[in-house]
Structure 1
Amino acid sequence: MIKDMNYISSFVIACVALGYILVSGRVVFAEPPKPDPLFLELEAMYRGDKDYKQLPFVPENPHKRLKNGPTLKNVTHKANKEWLKKWISNPGEMVPNARMPRLMLSDDEIEAVLAYLTSIADKELPKQEWEPYLLKNEDDMADDEYESMDELVSGGKAIWGRARCNICHPVKGKGGAVGVGPDLGAVAEKVNRDWLYLWIREPQSYFHQTQMPRYRFKDDELRQLVEYLMKDWDFRPEEEETAGTDKVSESKGAEEDTEDKSSIIPEGTLVEKGKRIIELNRCFICHEIEGVSELLPVRSEKSEPTNEFEKLLNDIRCMTCHNIQGNGGTFAPELTHEGSKLKRSWIKGFVETPDIIRPLLQQMPKFNLTSEEAETAANFVEEFFVSGEFLLDKFADIKSTEEEISKGKELYEAKGCKTCHTIEGGGVVGPNLKRVGDRLENGFIFFHLKDPHHETPDAVEPNYNLTDEEATAITHFLMSCKSKE
């Protein structure tokens, strides 16, 4: 009975409190602070209309492509026969993060499928000239040959790091934060080195809707990277690592002539049977397969881009990681309003030679853009990736005094900003602020300090509810954090 009375009392108190809230239109215990006038003005400048600025083209979203798998036109030139058999039999066993379903096909059915895929392949792919010693088993190399090969592998490893390949591709389960690339932990067992060279050089020539960017590598860089992928232990199957070097030159068969390792002499009935198996298993839902009709209507691909920035956007696949106006990836910062935040000169320099901004996160790859391409990107971002119509930027022409900078620095330290950010020592959780004055627009620094969550709701930075005076002082300090000229 007493327990019931407690419940009733609590219910009555809750009703009274709710009624007070509804009648008074305010929360009983606290009211949110009223925003300062200067913040409201700058909010209008940086937030702008909710509508995005109209772009001169519709961005191609690599995460909404027509076919989720690659074309199978020349897959029998790409991978060796034994690997393909195992792959079709059980994809997950061959590539840990494989998306392809296990079709439960018999060995005879797999042979038939490969017969059909061989029948639609080109006679051969372009061959690359390789130094003869690179095609040898490592145990058969002379000392000087092994040293030359090892030098190429080391160079390829450095290129792999600069290109940030591990952001998209896991290796034996490690890496691949973006979640779009296959695990390369056994790629040396799988691919033909000629195909690998052509793929890295021009990914879209093989799979037009690939999410992989074109890095514009030079020929010597391509060869070093191929050698690294074909020879380094990281890219060989686990069992080979314990079996001794006598088994491992480069995936057995992967260096042999394509006709020796991956072609099955097409037989009329076998080819027809393979085609029927492909049709029944609906392989064409994910793959483009020559000669297999579509059961569902397929959207036509967009025409080739004419806008220079659109060409660049598609070529290096910016939207695999970045989001623009609600389309694209979520791994990297959204680009929709970057023209309102970043200084044009910094944008150009960064896309040309990416620098470390967030130490704990994976960094943007270097795509080897030309100065003209970087200029094109900076100009487009400055013009179109903005948050609406702007008022006069109150901080554009302000010159900070030593007194203002000193006051801002004191507040920066008092608020504990250096716990997460670094300028001359500090934390590594937040962006590096050593040259933030070169990077961010002055007015946006103030806007962000006033409410870090307004533009980025999931930002980890706390909102200190700074006054205009405090935010202005810290803005002056951060404006002064620039490169030494």
Structure 2
Amino acid sequence: CHDIPGHGEDAPAGSELSDYGDKRLEDLDFGPRADIPRSVESWTLLKLLEPRAFGGELFMPRPYLSREEALAVTGFLLGLTKERIPDSLRPGRPFPFEAAGEAGKIIRDRRCLTCHSLGRRGGDFAPELDFEGSRVNPSWLESFLKEPTSIRPRLVQMPQLQLPVPEVRTLVRFFQYAARKDDLESLPPLGKGEVPLDQARGARLLEEKGCLACHKWKEKGGILGADIEKAGERLRPGFVYHWILDPRGADRDSMCPRSGMSHREAAFLARFLTGGKKP
């Protein structure tokens, strides 16, 4: 019934959901329900669980979702937003610059900035590279540049550039030392008695916080986001921690909504997803 660009055909029967995450509290009718918190998140969750909870004359059928499924859909819907923070309001973003030396020549010759951006220059089709050194493990980056593989199945993948090994290693060194931000690499210690690889707790957090609406874990979850079961191969623990707390603070073009996790939960999950590695 609902139209979400990129997902199926136009469906005019229901309201469009492409900017659902931009809804304001005053846009919602809580009707007689005074027993739930006044928030977009709470309204959406109850609407999915009980479509006619706010009025019997509504036509939406009951989808019979479990609470975990409803939480996952709620997280996905809140991530559908047209909001983009202006560069001028982004703290700590680098001033415009061009990569120099051998790495700069490779980036220009290979036209990397046709899709990626670096130092506020380039395209917006692929992830920005300003802090790539703080985001990914150097060993993974080297393997990926030699032979790009799928990260997000539903998106167009990076082409096979057939880069010579010397060029690959030059780019890895450049990102490892020049494209960094210390604030994205810090990771608080775990609390007393916490175990970084507690499988039950990790799986529970992923489900309760809606992560599996887009990401895949142990053959469960969505395919819009990256496969987080392989996060430890690709991402650094400190970056994962900051990503969980504030996705758009870590990556300005991220569509991932805030999960509402506490700092303690985020610190645990960052270690859980990256195999207990140190920052």
Aligned with 1:462 (options 257, 260, 269): 257
Amino acid aligned to 2:162 = N
Q: 1:344 to 1:338 in 2, by over 3 A?
A: same
Amino acid aligned to 1:442 = P
Task: Report whether the alignment pairs 1:369 with 2:156.
Answer: no
Q: Where do residues 7-406 of structure 1 align in structure 2 (5 Å cutoff)? A: 49-52=92-95, 58-59=98-99, 307-387=101-181, 394=188, 401=195, 404-406=198-200
Tell me if structure 2 keeps the 8 A contact 1:405–1:476: no
The offset of 1:479, in angstroms, is 1.2
Normalised to the residue count of structure 2, the TM-score between the two structures is 0.58
Counterpart-to-counterpart distance in 1, 2:188 and 2:259? 22
Tell me if structure 2 keeps the 8 A contact 1:352–1:371: yes
Between the aligned residues of both structures, percent identity stands at 32
Match of 2:242 in 1: 447
How many pairs were matched up?
Answer: 185
Tell me if structure 2 keeps the 8 A contact 1:356–1:363: yes
The offset of 1:431, in angstroms, is 1.3
Aligned with 1:421 (options 207, 215, 222): 215
Amino acid aligned to 2:156 = Q
* Stretch of structure 1 that moved more, 386-395 or 367-376: 386-395
- Deviation per residue, 1:317-374 (Å, 9 max, x gap): 1011111111111111111111111111111111111111111110001111122221
Unmatched 5+ stretches in structure 1: 1-28, 31-46, 60-304
Tell me if structure 2 keeps the 8 A contact 1:420–1:429: yes
Tell me if structure 1 keeps the 8 A contact 2:245–2:261: yes
Counterpart-to-counterpart distance in 1, 2:197 and 2:144? 32
Which one scores higher on RCO, CA 8 angstroms, separation ≥ 6?
1
Counterpart-to-counterpart distance in 2, 1:454 and 1:391? 13
Counterpart-to-counterpart distance in 2, 1:385 and 1:411? 31
Q: 1:401 to 1:372 in 2, by over 3 A?
A: farther
Counterpart-to-counterpart distance in 2, 1:455 and 1:392? 12
The offset of 1:480, in angstroms, is 2.3
| Structure ranking higher in helix proportion | 1
- Deviation per residue, 1:205-245 (Å, 9 max, x gap): xxxxxxxxxxxxxxxxxxxxxxxxxxxxxxxxxxxxxxxxx
Match of 1:14 in 2: none
Tell me if structure 1 keeps the 8 A contact 2:118–2:130: yes
The offset of 1:387, in angstroms, is 2.5
Q: 1:328 to 1:472 in 2, by over 3 A?
A: same
Of structures 1 and 2, the larger Rg is shown by 1
- Deviation per residue, 1:443-484 (Å, 9 max, x gap): 1111111111223344222212211222123223211299xx
- Deviation per residue, 1:62-102 (Å, 9 max, x gap): xxxxxxxxxxxxxxxxxxxxxxxxxxxxxxxxxxxxxxxxx
Counterpart-to-counterpart distance in 2, 1:393 and 1:383? 19
Tell me if structure 2 keeps the 8 A contact 1:341–1:444: yes
Match of 2:273 in 1: 478
Q: Tell me how large the CA RMSD over aligned residues is.
A: 2.9
Normalised to the residue count of structure 1, the TM-score between the two structures is 0.35
